[in-house]
């Protein structure tokens, strides 16, 4: 008898998506649009994950040669929704750390508008959503998840699921169902988290007119003073006139709740001291005010489930093109120093790398597919695939695959990934 068997069974679904972040909402609406009766379970009060709750402010992860407007898929629908609200300037070009050799296309956005856009897209798809709901386990038998177990104010409940998408970031469902996982680099070190904050009243002309050399010099003065945590000034504009500032850096292991709690508190102390430093030392910020912070610290690292294929660091660096590719990107390997102020950045040699379907499924559980940052990768490869455009595209592929598995009866870990790639790439 399962330890959860005594709790009520409250529904049966073709696809249950655990986590409504950038990968999860994309998976859920895509599965529903492809005919699957779909339920998305999300513990926060809204969908969007780090894109909305952590208020990242900018979508990254396009592939070179895509042009300046995505032609199809969830990211196109999101962009069009943001543009209709006047909440994005569209696709723009930036340079990571001000380096001209690290040019990339991004989509800045206002997070409140993004919440509404995501909710509308999911609602229109027909997918059901339960917010304020945390998944606490699975009932798994003979390599198949039978039910997903969750808790909310109605108590502990279960739903049956023909297919399950683990878009939990932490790979929580896969881990509970018996899949293998790894954490951090070869020494178990995880990348730091960052809590975003927003500044109002910035003199944009003065700040944007600063040469990169001066920004770097000011940043290094702040580092020497023990206030700044990054060797560059990162304060990018949003359509509403605010600046979102990505300057905090805090050690965190989200699989240790006490450590995660400490990190959240420490990150908010960093925001205050960094904001004060900007106001007192950075040209253009003298009249600025701290207007908001993210609801939670944005994380870069957690479990990585080990699937049917592990995307290797060299696969990214060499720009390997897989037969069963379901997503592509040009985002570099970008490992933020846990004990330092910089990042290790390595560009794909061919400019573009791909992600195979096999990295999204596991040998242990036949009706499970991974989406987003918990997919099967090596450590540095993960530092390339973790950005939000890539996560949305992985979610879209997961949604297509889940619906296909329900229609055909072919287990998710036996589906020919080439058929999925042909529909989403």
Same domain, 289 and 304: no
146 in a domain, yes or no? yes
pLDDT of residue 78 exceeding 80: yes
Same domain, 177 and 63: yes
User: Encoding tokens for residue 164?
Assistant: 């399950």
Mean pLDDT on 70-78: 91
Same domain, 184 and 216: no
215 in a domain, yes or no? yes
**DSSP secondary structure string for all residues of 165-207:** EE--SS-HHHHHTT--EEESSTT-PPPPBB--EEEES--HHHH
Which residue matches tokens 């529903």?
32
Q: Are 351 and 319 contacting, i.e. CB atoms less than 8 angstroms apart?
A: yes
**Cβ contacts of residue 26 below 8 Å, gap of 6+?**
74, 371, 391, 392, 393, 394, 395, 396, 399
Same domain, 137 and 58: yes
Q: Which tens digit of pLDDT belongs to each residue from 28-70?
A: 999 999 999 999 999 999 999 999 999 999 999 999 888 777 8
Same domain, 147 and 68: yes
Structural domain that includes position 219: 197-293
Residue 327 CA to residue 417 CA, distance in Å, equals 11
pLDDT of residue 97 exceeding 70: no
Give the chain's length. Answer: 425
Pairing verdict, β 243-245 and 235-237:
antiparallel
30 in a domain, yes or no? yes
Same domain, 283 and 367: no
CATH (domain of 385) = 3.50.50.60
Same domain, 356 and 328: yes
213 in a domain, yes or no? yes
**Portion of the chain with pLDDT greater than 70, in percent:** 99
Mean pLDDT on 204-229: 95
- Taking CB atoms within 8 Å and a gap of at least 24, the contacts of 275-279 are 275/197, 275/199, 275/245, 277/222, 277/225, 277/227, 277/228, 278/199, 278/235, 278/245
User: Encoding tokens for residue 150?
Assistant: 């969750």
Q: Which residues pair with 161 in a beta bridge?
A: 13
Same domain, 201 and 164: no
**Portion of the chain with pLDDT greater than 90, in percent:** 90
Write down the pTM of the prediction.
0.96
Same domain, 133 and 30: yes
Distance of CA 279 to the CA centre of its chain: 30
4 in a domain, yes or no? no
78 in a domain, yes or no? yes
Q: Which tens digit of pLDDT belongs to each residue from 126-179?
A: 999 999 999 999 999 999 999 999 999 999 999 999 999 999 999 999 999 999
How many CB atoms are closer than 10 A to CB 241? Answer: 10
268 in a domain, yes or no? yes
pLDDT of residue 402 exceeding 80: yes
Residue 74 CA to residue 15 CA, distance in Å, equals 18
Average pLDDT taken over every residue of the chain: 95
Mean pLDDT on 341-360: 93
Q: What's the domain count of the chain?
A: 2
Q: What confidence category does residue 102 fall into, taking pLDDT thresholds of 50, 70 and 90? A: confident
At residue 343, the pLDDT reads 87
**Cβ contacts of residue 217 below 8 Å, gap of 6+?**
none
Same domain, 235 and 308: no
Distance of CA 156 to the CA centre of its chain: 27
- Please name which of 319, 295, 264, 299 lies closest in space to residue 387, comparing C-alpha atoms: 299
Q: Are 307 and 375 contacting, i.e. CB atoms less than 8 angstroms apart?
A: yes
Same domain, 205 and 137: no
**CA angle 295–177–51, rounded 5-degree value:** 20
Mean pLDDT on 263-272: 98
If DSSP codes are grouped into helix, strand and coil, which group holds residue 276? helix
**Cβ contacts of residue 231 below 8 Å, gap of 6+?**
216, 219, 220, 223, 341, 342
Same domain, 49 and 127: yes
User: Encoding tokens for residue 210?
Assistant: 């600063």
Q: Which tens digit of pLDDT belongs to each residue from 356-385?
A: 999 999 999 999 999 999 999 999 999 999
Residue 159 CA to residue 39 CA, distance in Å, equals 9
At residue 355, the pLDDT reads 98
At residue 1, the pLDDT reads 62
Beta strands in 167-312 (DSSP E): 181-183, 197-200, 235-237, 243-245, 289-293, 303-305
**CA angle 394–74–425, rounded 5-degree value:** 55
Q: Are 198 and 241 contacting, i.e. CB atoms less than 8 angstroms apart?
A: no
At residue 229, the pLDDT reads 93
Q: Are 47 and 118 contacting, i.e. CB atoms less than 8 angstroms apart?
A: yes
Q: Are 335 and 380 contacting, i.e. CB atoms less than 8 angstroms apart?
A: yes
């Amino acid at each position: 008898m399962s330890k959860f068997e005594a709790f009520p069974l409250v529904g049966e679904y073709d696809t249950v998506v655990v986590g409504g972040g950038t990968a999860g909402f994309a998976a859920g609406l895509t599965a529903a649009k492809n005919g699957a009766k779909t339920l998305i379970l999300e513990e926060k009060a809204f969908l969007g994950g780090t894109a909305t709750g952590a208020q990242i402010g900018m979508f990254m992860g396009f592939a070179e040669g895509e042009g300046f407007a995505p032609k199809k898929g969830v990211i196109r629908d999101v962009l069009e929704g943001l543009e209709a609200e006047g909440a994005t300037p569209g696709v723009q070009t930036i340079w990571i750390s001000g380096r001209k050799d690290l040019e990339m296309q991004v989509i800045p956005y206002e997070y409140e508008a993004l919440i509404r856009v995501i909710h509308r897209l999911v609602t229109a798809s027909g997918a059901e959503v339960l917010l304020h709901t945390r998944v606490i386990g699975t009932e798994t038998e003979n390599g198949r998840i039978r039910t997903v177990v969750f808790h909310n104010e109605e108590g502990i409940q279960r739903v049956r699921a023909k297919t399950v998408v683990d878009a939990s970031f932490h790979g929580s469902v896969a881990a509970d169902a018996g899949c293998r996982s790894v954490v951090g680099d070869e020494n178990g070190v995880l990348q730091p988290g960052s809590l975003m904050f927003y500044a109002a009243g910035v003199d944009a002309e003065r700040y944007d007119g600063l040469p990169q050399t001066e920004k770097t010099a000011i940043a290094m003065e702040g580092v020497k003073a023990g206030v700044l945590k990054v060797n560059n000034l990162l304060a990018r504009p949003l359509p509403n006139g605010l600046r979102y500032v990505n300057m905090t850096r805090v050690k965190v292991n989200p699989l240790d709740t006490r450590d995660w709690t400490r990190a959240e508190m420490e990150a908010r102390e960093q925001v205050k001291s960094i904001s004060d430093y900007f106001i007192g030392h950075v040209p253009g910020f003298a009249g600025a005010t701290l207007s908001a912070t993210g609801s939670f610290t944005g994380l870069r690292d957690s479990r990585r489930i080990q699937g049917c294929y592990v995307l290797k660091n060299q696969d990214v660096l060499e720009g390997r093109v897989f037969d069963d590719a379901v997503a592509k990107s040009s985002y570099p390997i970008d490992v933020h120093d846990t004990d330092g102020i910089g990042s290790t950045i390595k560009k794909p040699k061919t400019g573009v790398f791909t992600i195979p379907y096999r990295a999204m499924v596991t040998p242990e559980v036949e009706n499970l597919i991974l989406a987003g940052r918990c997919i099967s990768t090596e450590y540095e490869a993960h530092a390339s695939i973790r950005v939000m455009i890539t996560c949305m595209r992985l979610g879209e592929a997961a949604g297509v695959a889940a619906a296909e598995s329900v229609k055909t009866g072919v287990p998710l870990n036996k589906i020919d990934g080439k058929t999925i790639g042909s529909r989403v790439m």
